[in-house]
Each structure stands twice: as structure tokens, then as C-alpha cells.
């Protein structure tokens, strides 16, 4: 007579699934927005980008300095003592003191290189802002990826733990059936092999969870604690607009990397003009005033005070500089060509990133739908195999295979959801429109 499987098997699996889901959620679980706020304060890479932006803001001030007047105050106090020994007559000592100061002003009137440097400074500020905006988008992507990597690793571990429980019960059933002679030892060996395999996978899963948590901790600078998980049966929306061409066009124009490269090309163009200015004359307004006091004695002990004041223009015409100016012009022309090619490469990379992310979202949505259907059919297949095992038309390995298929479907469905959400964020980042509000929308999918 066939020994029936314990009726607690199915209930045990469901109970463990429910229990593991609730264990990963608690009232104090951190959500995605909270983790992102921690990263804003503690992420070293983003802190470096913030400091770089602050440094870049000074470029316009430095460039403007070349257009503003230079004012300097200089002076000296000198005491001179000399001894005179003439050939005839009495000798003597000479002592003099000189006290002088000069206040000088120089205002550039025409310095083409200085003007180009000022314009470059303004462009450099735009570049620093674009790079910082890109760093903010990168932080959203890095935080989200690290967050969902942890959830995915936890899902795998929980699934393995549930699978271990179900295989353990199947192993116990196979051993009992063998003891009463209704099954061969092969069923026990097969169940034992599956149990040993899932135990090894469980250890690997535990290590993977720790690694993913450490990666998240590196970004936020502290222990993340428990994380809020995705709600059951969430719906991931399709990208809007629906046409991939619209996203590619946006990436080619609005991507912050593209904008920074465009400004870099403009700086390279102005660098050519700045170096060509080495052949141009310069004209400055100069003015100075001062006071020089001379004091001393030698026979009559004469003294004097001079107060010179001058104003005028000063010009300079370069004639020959050893071909240095021509060399710098050729160098800047080559660098401009480099900047133009860098811009084209950045534009193409942004477009390709948008295409990949868009295809990832569309493909992910199809996978989610397919895995949801596969989950239902796999669960039905497992129930059918269990029933067949009870009535003797299925063997132990059939039930184990059905269990493996169901748990694999769980993992694939979970990963498909995470990947689709991440591709949606990457798509917006490539198009240059990713904002913190988009993170709020993703955060709304979490069970708080």
C-alpha cells in the first residue's frame, strides 16, 4: 500500500513563505528615500562631486579678474652710510635716508586673451553644474541598484530556505516510504542530494546578502538595517513617451554628459582665440602716485621730498616669441578636434544608453507578465505532482523537480521586477530627466 505524504507539507511551505516575507518587513524598515537621504549626506563619491562643483564656481571669478584693474602699493625705507677719503683735504662720512612709496593702478583696455579667459570661466561653471547634476543622477542609480541588489539577494535566500524546508519534508517522506518498502532507496538518495545542494546554495545566499549589504553600507556610510520590500503584485508602468526615438532624441540633447561635452568644445574653441591673441597688441591704462623723501648730510646736509604723479596708456606689440604662439595655436586646434570627437562619442553613448534602457524596460515588462503566468502554472504543476505522488502515479523526483521549477520562477519574477524598475531609472538618467521625484514614485511601490 502506498504511504501518503503528510498533509502538513503544503501548509508548511505556505507558512514559511508568509513568515519569511513578514520577517523581512518591520515597522522600522528603511525605505528607498530614507536610504537616498543618508547617501546624500554620507556618500564620499557624491561629496567629492559637491566639492568639485563649489570649486568650479570660482572659475568665473578668476576669469573676470583679468578684466578688472590691478592696484598695488609698494614702498621702501633705505638708510645709506658711506665714508669718503679724498686725495686732498679732509675726508668725512656721508649718511642718507630714503623713504618712498608708490600707489599704482593698471586697467586693461584691450587684452583679447583676458576676455576669452573670462568667457571660458563662465563656460567652466556650466560644466561644473552639469557634472554635479550628473553626479546626483548617478547617486540615485547607485543607491537604487544597491538597494534592490539587497532585496534580490534576500529573496533568493528566503526562497532557498523555504525550498530547504520543503525538500526536508520530502526527504523524510521518502525515508518513511523506504522503511515500509513502498519506495526504493533511490528516492531517498535523490531527495538527500537535493537537500545537500540547497544547503550549499543557502550558505552562498547568506554570503551574497552580506556582500550586498556591505555595498549599500559603503554608499550610506552606516548599517542600513531592515529594508522595505516591494509590495506583492505591483504593476510597473511602461515608459512615457512610448516611442524609443523620443527617448533617444532627449538623450542626445539633454543628457548632462552631452551638455558638459558641448561646453568643453566651446572652451576649446575659445582657447584657440586666446592663444592667437599672443600676436595681438595690448593696451592698458596706467596711473601712479607716490612720495619719495631723501634725507642726509654731507657738508651742507641737504634734504628733499618728491611727490610724482602720472597717468597714461601703455601699449605693447609682440613681434617675435620664438614660434611659441604658433605652436600653442596648433596645439589648441588639435585639442578642439579632440573635444569635438569627445562630444560625438558622448552623444552616441547617451543615445545607446537610452536604447538599452528602453529595451530593458519593454523586455522586462514582458518577462514580468510571462513569469507571473509561469508562477501560476508552476504552482499548479507542483500541486498536481504532489497529488500524483500520493496516488502513486508520480515519483519523488517529479515532486522535487516541480518544487525547483516553482522556486526558480519566484526568483526570476522577483529579479525581473527589480531589473525593470532599474532600467526605468536608467532610461530617465540617459535622457537627462531623472529627478528625486522619480525616486518617490519607486518608493511608493515599497511596502512600508
User: Which among 119, 116, 112, 120 has a CA at the least distance from the CA of 318?
Assistant: 112
The 10s digit of each residue's pLDDT in 101-117 is: 999 999 999 999 999 99
| pLDDT value, residue 442 | 94
Options 3.40.50.720, 1.50.10.10, 1.20.1600.10, 1.10.3470.10; which CATH number does 13-66+112-145+223-279+321-443 get?
1.20.1600.10
Q: Report long-range pairs for 332-341 (Cβ below 8 Å, ≥24 apart).
A: 332/268, 332/271, 332/272, 332/274, 332/275, 333/272, 335/268, 335/271, 336/265, 336/268, 336/269, 336/271, 336/272, 338/268, 339/261, 339/264, 339/265, 339/267, 339/268, 340/265, 340/268
Kindly report the average pLDDT of the chain as a whole number: 87
Of the two residues 397 and 226, the one the predictor is more confident about is: 226
Q: Quick one: pLDDT band at residue 390, thresholds 50, 70, 90?
A: confident
User: Which among 416, 427, 441, 270 has a CA at the least distance from the CA of 352?
Assistant: 427
CA 167 to chain centre: 43
Q: Quick one: pLDDT band at residue 84, thresholds 50, 70, 90?
A: low
**Architecture of the structural domain at 68-82+93-110+281-317:** Single Sheet (2.20)
| pLDDT value, residue 413 | 94
DSSP-assigned letter for residue 300: S
Question: What count of other Cβ atoms lies within 10 Å of the Cβ of residue 225?
Answer: 12
Cis amide prior to 241 (ω within 30 degrees): yes
Between CA 278 and CA 326 the distance in angstroms is: 9
- Which of 15-19, 349-353, 402-406 is the most confident on average? 349-353
Residue range 306-324: mean pLDDT, rounded: 93
| pLDDT value, residue 27 | 52
| pLDDT value, residue 300 | 46
Between CA 111 and CA 48 the distance in angstroms is: 35
The 10s digit of each residue's pLDDT in 184-235 is: 687 778 878 888 998 999 999 999 999 999 999 999 999 988 999 999 888 8
Between CA 172 and CA 166 the distance in angstroms is: 10
Between CA 46 and CA 134 the distance in angstroms is: 10
Q: Quick one: pLDDT band at residue 88, thresholds 50, 70, 90?
A: low
* Per-domain residue ranges of the chain: 13-66+112-145+223-279+321-443, 68-82+93-110+281-317
Residue range 387-400: mean pLDDT, rounded: 76
| pLDDT value, residue 195 | 87
The 10s digit of each residue's pLDDT in 1-16 is: 233 333 333 444 444 4
The 10s digit of each residue's pLDDT in 243-273 is: 999 999 999 999 999 999 999 999 999 999 9
Between CA 284 and CA 445 the distance in angstroms is: 65
Pairing of strands 309-316, 282-297: antiparallel
Between CA 350 and CA 134 the distance in angstroms is: 12
Between CA 240 and CA 247 the distance in angstroms is: 9
Residue 301, pLDDT above cutoff 80: no
In degrees and rounded to multiples of 5, residue 15 shows phi and psi of: -65, -40
Q: Where are the beta strands (DSSP E) in 204-340?
A: 282-297, 304-306, 309-316
Q: Specify whether the backbone of 100 is left (phi greater than 0), alpha (psi in -120 to 50) or beta.
A: beta
| pLDDT value, residue 91 | 58
Q: Quick one: pLDDT band at residue 340, thresholds 50, 70, 90?
A: very high
| pLDDT value, residue 255 | 96
Amino acid at each position: 500500500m502506498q504511504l501518503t505524504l503528510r498533509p502538513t507539507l503544503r501548509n508548511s511551505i505556505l507558512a514559511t513563505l508568509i513568515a519569511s516575507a513578514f520577517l523581512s518587513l518591520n515597522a522600522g524598515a528603511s525605505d528607498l528615500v530614507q536610504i537616498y537621504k543618508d547617501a546624500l549626506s554620507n556618500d564620499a563619491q557624491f561629496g567629492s562631486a559637491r566639492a568639485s562643483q563649489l570649486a568650479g564656481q570660482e572659475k568665473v571669478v578668476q576669469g573676470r579678474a583679468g578684466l578688472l584693474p590691478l592696484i598695488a602699493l609698494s614702498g621702501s625705507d633705505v638708510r645709506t652710510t658711506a665714508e669718503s677719503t679724498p686725495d686732498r683735504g679732509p675726508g668725512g662720512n656721508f649718511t642718507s635716508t630714503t623713504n618712498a612709496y608708490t600707489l599704482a593702478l593698471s586697467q586693461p583696455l584691450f587684452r583679447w586673451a583676458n576676455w576669452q579667459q573670462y568667457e571660458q570661466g563662465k563656460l567652466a561653471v556650466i560644466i561644473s553644474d552639469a557634472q554635479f547634476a550628473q553626479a546626483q543622477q548617478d547617486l540615485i542609480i547607485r543607491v537604487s541598484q544597491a538597494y534592490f541588489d539587497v532585496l534580490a539577494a534576500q529573496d533568493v535566500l528566503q526562497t532557498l530556505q523555504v525550498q530547504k524546508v520543503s525538500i526536508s519534508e520530502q526527504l523524510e517522506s521518502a525515508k518513511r516510504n523506504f522503511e515500509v518498502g513502498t519506495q526504493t532507496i533511490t528516492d531517498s538518495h535523490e531527495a538527500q542530494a537535493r537537500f545537500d545542494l540547497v544547503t550549499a546554495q543557502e550558505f552562498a545566499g547568506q554570503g551574497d546578502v552580506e556582500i550586498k549589504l556591505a555595498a549599500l553600507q559603503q554608499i550610506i556610510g552606516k548599517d542600513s538595517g531592515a529594508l522595505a520590500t516591494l509590495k506583492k503584485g505591483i504593476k510597473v508602468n511602461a515608459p512615457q513617451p512610448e516611442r524609443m526615438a523620443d527617448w533617444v532624441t532627449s538623450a542626445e540633447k539633454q543628457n548632462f554628459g552631452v551638455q558638459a561635452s558641448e561646453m568643453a568644445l566651446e572652451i576649446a574653441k575659445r582657447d584657440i582665440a586666446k592663444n592667437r591673441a599672443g600676436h595681438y597688441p595690448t593696451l592698458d591704462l596706467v596711473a601712479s602716485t607716490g612720495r619719495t623723501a631723501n634725507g642726509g648730510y654731507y657738508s651742507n646736509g641737504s634734504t628733499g621730498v618728491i611727490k610724482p604723479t602720472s597717468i597714461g596708456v601703455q601699449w605693447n606689440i609682440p613681434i617675435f616669441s620664438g614660434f611659441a604662439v604658433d605652436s600653442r595655436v596648433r596645439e589648441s586646434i588639435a585639442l578642439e578636434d579632440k573635444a569635438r570627437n569627445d562630444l560625438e562619442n558622448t552623444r552616441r553613448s547617451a543615445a545607446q544608453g537610452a536604447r538599452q534602457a528602453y529595451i530593458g524596460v519593454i523586455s522586462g515588462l514582458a518577462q514580468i507578465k510571462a513569469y507571473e503566468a509561469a508562477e501560476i502554472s508552476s504552482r499548479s504543476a507542483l500541486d498536481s505532482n504532489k497529488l500524483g505522488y500520493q496516488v502513486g502515479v508520480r515519483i519523488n523526483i517529479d515532486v522535487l523537480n516541480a518544487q525547483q521549477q516553482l522556486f526558480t520562477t519566484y526568483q526570476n519574477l522577483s529579479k525581473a521586477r527589480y531589473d525593470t524598475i532599474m532600467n526605468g531609472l536608467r532610461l530617465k538618467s540617459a535622457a537627462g530627466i531623472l529627478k528625486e521625484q522619480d525616486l518617490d514614485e519607486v518608493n511608493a511601490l515599497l511596502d512600508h
